[in-house]
Amino acid sequence: MGNKSLFRNWALILFCTLGAGQLFAQLSINEKEYFETRGLNVLVFSNEYNGFFFDEKNAGIELIHHGMRSSTGGAVRLQNTPEQWDLVPSLVERKVDRASNTIEVTTRYNQLDLTSKIIVRAEADGVNISVYLDKPLPENLEGKAGFNLEFLPAAYFEKSYLVNGRPGTFPLYPSGHTQIRSLSEKIPQFAGHSTLDTRGEEEFIEPQPLASGKTIILAPEDSYHRVKITSETEISLFDGRSLAQNGWFVTRSILPANKTGKVLEWHLEANTVANWIREPNIGFSQIGYHPEQKKLAIIELDKNDDGLQTASLYQITPEGKTVEKLTGKVTEWGEHFRYNYVNFDFSEVTETGIYFIKYGDQTTNTFPISEQVYETAWHPTLDIFFPVQMDHMKVNEAYRTWHGRPFMDDALQAPLEQEHFDGYSMGTSTGTKFEPYEHIPGLDVGGWFDAGDYDIQTGTHCLTITDLVASWEEFGLERDQTHINQENRYVDIHRPDGQIDILQQIEHGTLNLVAQINNIGHPVRGIIVPNLHQYHHLGDASTETDNLPYNPNLQPFESDGVSSGNMDDRWVFSERSPYLDYSTAGALAAASRALKDYNPSLSLECLELAKKLWQENENIPAPEPSSGYFARFLKLSEMNASMQLYVTTKDTQYAEAFESKIWNAMDETLDRTIDIALHAAPHMDTEFNNKLKTYVQKYTSEIDQLEKDNPYGVPMFRRPGWGGNHGIIDFAIANYRAHKLFPDLVDREHVFKGLHYIFGRHPHSNLSFVSGVGTKSKKVAYGSNRADFSFIAGGVVPGILLMSPDYPENKENWPFFWGENEYIVDIGASYIFLVNAADELLKEK
């Protein structure tokens, strides 16, 4: 009996080890220069901290644990729970030695004269992380500099931890201890931000540890998330959400004072499940398919998955029965990034109905096949998203108020020589008649919140207006579901007012551009709050300022009822830019056409201001020749301005200006410029269109190359820190215009591919990237309500973030990755156009 009992015990231990986890999975450095074993990757500065946006939670030492990036930010940091704008180290050097299975990085804080070296070495049971200093810590960093590794809260919600054997539970909502410290004790944040503090505070909040010890085990009960960290130095566990809603759980050890060489050593073990294979991701359109469309599901497979030979399509009958409609072979596409891809074509099924796809044991949610699939897909974007983004208006929806009337105190002239956050800056001159901190009147009108924050970005407005006008002119969208009253500054969603919504939105965006020119003299970079504590404001936009213009004759917190001594008013960053002048001229020229009957006086003013900007820039010496990102945008904006002015006025001077640049521009970067030429083509002569055809023929080879580059056949650009959805939508729009002009050269399928991608046929998941559109869509996004882990219907997110070297990510359980999940108004406008373009193509006989 004893021997049998002993055998059963050992069998149970073996089962738990093999079935639930293998604790001694040897990591090794692969050809992509990160540590890998089945179920675990350890990246060591494959992604660097961003000097522009600082800490985006996608840099340093990171863990991809059973397919999920659950840990990031492994580096020497200066706070217990770093916020986005806290200082980040720059990468000096990275060495990879596959022979010794080590990766070594040197990082530095130039501002504080602190250089450290981190060596990560594979061990039998995980990795060894060691921190080295060549000289002792500066005195002002003693007790402040430490090694941090952060863990995604959403991965550990409702799970436990053990610290030196003492149990605890990760809180669903932050409830740990904090203490108040003097600002003089804090390492400075982003050095360029305004030091004005309208709250009058001289203190900061510092989270205290949930627990401390020399052994920390995260999620001991969960074999997919269990991580163990041990050290001879005390490790503390913090909840960063006590300080900021986007904070993570942080493990941290303080670096010792007066010590050099190896000053800290951690041993990290991340459990891996034996023979783990990531579940297949069946990519398909969540809004469904038109019967005449090609219907292709793209299935994303773990590289260890042998895959299956077939997939099936099932229909749900009106009686609720399941009927197999098609079983077909899957075809192999190949490897892309870290996954393999196969295709399942079910185009032959054209019967209207409700369907789902089955691949092995996995089934998708249902989706329709119907001639009406695209008819309403754009409605939430125009009906909900755009109204919610409207600045200077109270926005109501049934029982809910999205926000009150914000920024009625707009705006102050920004100070000189200011390096601000979010890319805003001022040089040595305001370029206006206003002195720094002087109130500029007339700016409290129109405009949209650019994104998930509450600033106005002029360049984004111009793109948004231009695309809304294109939708109006191309498709005549006479939808009315929103009450918009400019006089009362009031918006009521789901309440028709007898006016065409898209024209009301064009008017609203245009009003702010016109106000900029009339009150400042030219378009400006943007209008944004002066303080970081305002910038990361979450909640009702109308509470971000006191809505009373700043009065320098009053003391802080003093008010005379019409003004206040609080310098919380947004700042106007007013340096003049040819790019913004041309962008605004193009947008106003387009708006003048759309508003001609709806608001004739504004339409006329738009055209006059557009001509004024064009003429003024003709008389301004051209900027020094340059190349790169900004030079390209300057060329694009100038060409768009000339094209829009020509379409509006039919004055040949603008057509000549357009043609003088468009051909060279397409020779340089065809994919970036062809859409402008295609947009202009219906208004140009036969000679122009004949010449354009040769460029479209070249463009088709670029389209064909995308079919070879990735399984989705769309441009999945590796833009640092930002998903590629906008580029994919613009690509599909260019293909629509090319197909309309040259249907023999560009097939309409290249239009639909862009929408299929947006609606769920993409890497990582199969969610629709348009919140509230499709059977399953983005329900957690980076909008103004992100702290509630919620969404704004009709908002379009940036999508898949392609992290180096090979990891596609878009998190649904964590809204705070703006590069993956932040709504932007201009992509919403482009999306409205693309959906209507697809619908029009499918209704053609």
Residues 97-136 pLDDT 10s: 999 999 999 999 998 999 999 999 999 889 999 999 999 9
Sign of the Cα torsion 90, 96, 100, 102 reads positive
Side chain identity at 410, as an amino acid letter? Answer: D
Helical (H) or strand (E) element with 10? helix 2-15
In this model, does residue 279 exceed pLDDT 70?
A: yes
Q: From residue 86, how far is each of 45, 190, 432, 767 by CA, in Å?
A: 18, 6, 33, 33
Taking 80 as the threshold, does the pLDDT of residue 146 lie above it? yes
Handedness of CA 433, 439, 445, 451 (dihedral sign): positive
Residue 781 token pair: 């996004």
Q: pLDDT tens for residues 820-830?
A: 999 999 999 99
Domains defined along the chain, listed by start: 2-176+210-270 (2.70.98), 281-369 (2.60.40.10)
Checking if the pLDDT of 345 tops 70, the result is: yes
pLDDT in tens, 700-715: 999 999 999 999 999 9
pLDDT digits (tens, 9 = 90+) for 736-745: 999 999 999 9
Q: Does residue 621 surpass a pLDDT of 70?
A: no
CB atoms within 10 A of CB 817: 23
Alpha-carbon dihedral sign for residues 123, 129, 132, 136: negative
Bigger pLDDT: 84 or 61? 61
The pLDDT of residue 17: 38
pLDDT above 80: residue 269: yes
User: What is the predicted pLDDT for the residue at 5?
Assistant: 37
State the CB neighbour count (10 A cutoff) for residue 407. 24
Angle at which helix 600-619 crosses helix 501-520, to 10 degrees, equals: 50
pLDDT digits (tens, 9 = 90+) for 406-460: 999 999 999 999 889 888 999 999 999 999 999 999 999 999 999 999 999 999 9
Q: How far is CA 224 from CA 113, 251, 276, 378, 653, in A?
A: 40, 19, 10, 39, 66
For residue 200, what pLDDT is reported? Answer: 57
CB 749 within 8 A of CB 740: no
What are 19's two structure tokens?
A: 């079935």
Q: Which residues contact 761 (CB under 8 A, 6 or more apart)?
A: 283, 284, 285, 296, 297, 298, 712
> What burial class does residue 194 get, using C-beta atoms within 10 Å of its C-beta: 0-12 exposed, 13-18 middle, 19+ buried?
buried
- Is 720's pLDDT higher than 90? no
pLDDT digits (tens, 9 = 90+) for 656-686: 999 999 999 999 999 989 999 999 999 999 9
Q: 323 pLDDT exceeds 80? A: yes
| Of 348, 242, 358, 226, the residue nearest 299 (C-alpha) | 358
Average pLDDT over residues 492-519: 98
769-773: long-range contacts, CB 8 A cutoff, minimum separation 24: 769/725, 769/796, 769/797, 769/799, 769/810, 770/377, 770/380, 770/381, 770/794, 770/795, 770/796, 770/831, 771/380, 771/795, 771/796, 771/797, 771/823, 772/380, 772/384, 773/286, 773/287, 773/377, 773/380, 773/381
HSE toward the beta carbon, residue 316, CA cutoff 13 A: 12
Q: What mean pLDDT value characterizes the chain?
A: 93
CA distance 227 to 764: 23
Among 305-309, 348-352, 421-425, 775-779, the minimum mean pLDDT is found in: 421-425
Share of the chain above pLDDT 90, in %: 87
End-to-end CA distance of the chain: 81
Q: What's the confidence (pLDDT) of residue 9?
A: 39
pLDDT for residue 428: 93
Question: How confident is the model at residue 54, as a pLDDT?
Answer: 85
Residue 27 to residues 222, 227, 273, Cα–Cα distance (Å)? 21, 15, 14
Q: CB of 95 within 8 A of CB of 107?
A: no
Q: Which helix (H) or strand (E) holds 633?
A: helix 629-649
**Joined tokens for residue 526:** 């943007």
At 623 the pLDDT is 59
Apex 662 CA angle, 661 and 666, nearest 5: 120
Task: Using the predicted structure, report yes or no on whether residue 790 has a pLDDT greater than 50.
Answer: yes
Give SS3 for 317.
coil
Output the six-digit token pair for 803.
């992290």
The closest of 690, 632, 634 to 666, measured between CA atoms, is 632
More confident residue, 18 or 73: 73
Local confidence band at 193 (pLDDT 50, 70, 90 cut-offs) = very low
**3-17, 173-187, 663-677: segment of lowest average pLDDT:** 3-17
Does the structure show a pLDDT above 70 at 7?
no
> Which amino acid appears at position 740 of this protein?
K
Tokens of 336: 């892309």
Checking if the pLDDT of 228 tops 90, the result is: yes
What per-residue confidence (pLDDT) applies to 622?
60
Mean of pLDDT values over 356-383:
97
Model pLDDT, residue 361: 94
Residue 632's pLDDT is 76
Sequence-separated contacts (24+) of 448-451 with Cβ below 8 Å? 448/386, 448/389, 448/390, 448/391, 448/508, 448/509, 448/825, 449/389, 449/390, 449/391, 449/541, 449/784, 449/825, 450/526, 450/824, 450/825, 451/782, 451/818, 451/822, 451/823, 451/824, 451/825
